[in-house]
Structures are given as structure tokens and as C-alpha cells.
Amino acid sequence: MITIDAKDKMLGRVASAAAKALLGKHSASFAKNLVDQEGVTIINASKIKLSGVKAKDKTYVRYSGYPGGQKTETYGMLTARLGEKDAIRRAVLGMLPKNRLQAKRIKMLTIEK
């Protein structure tokens, strides 16, 4: 189990370290077609930092597939609704390869307040 402390660290730095560990690039037996069975835990998620004014400028977009179904929300709105855990999970998910192993790898991620 790999533990990453997010206290006073930037969101992108923590997410890239977690994505790299989930991919298994830290191990000598790295194979990109296999899921590393070692999980990643991120602690102190509520103490993560954002640079500049990203708390009100960074937007997350989702689309339902219907006309007029595109919804946007800022980082501040997302963390108020779901917490910092979901913002970190979305950042890590965006850094993982988009293939069949993505869902299996993201399940190995644990985020604690």
C-alpha cells in the first residue's frame, strides 16, 4: 500500500503521483497490460491546495446526452456538493489511460479526509 500525504500540496502533483503509482511504474516488474495489485491511499484530502484563483475558475463539465443537458460547475461548487475526495478522484481518473483497465485501477485508489 502506497500512502500519499496531500497536506499543503497542489492537486495536480498529488493526482499525478497517485496515477503513476496506480499504473505500477514504481515497481521493477512494471507491465502496462497488468493492474498492479498494490493500492494507493491519499490522506489529508481536505487540506489540498489550488494555485491562484482556481477554486472559482476551474470548471468541471458533464453532459447527459440530451439537448441542453450540458452542466458545468466550479471547483468550489463541486467540493461543497461532494467534497475534495471527488475532485481528487476526477483528477486521477483523467490521468489514467482510457482503456479497459482504467476502472480496475481507479478502484485501487482510497482517499481519506
The pTM is what? Answer: 0.91
Q: Alpha carbon of 70 to those of 62, 79, 87, 111, 113: distances in Å?
A: 6, 19, 19, 28, 30
Strands 40-43 and 2-5: what pairing?
parallel
At residue 55, the pLDDT reads 87
Q: Please check whether residue 4 is in contact with residue 83, taking contact to mean a CB–CB distance below 8 angstroms.
A: no
CATH class of segment(s) 2-111: alpha beta
| H-type alpha helices, the chain | 11-23, 54-57, 75-81, 84-95, 102-106
Task: Using 70 as the pLDDT threshold, list the residues of the chain that sit under it.
Answer: none
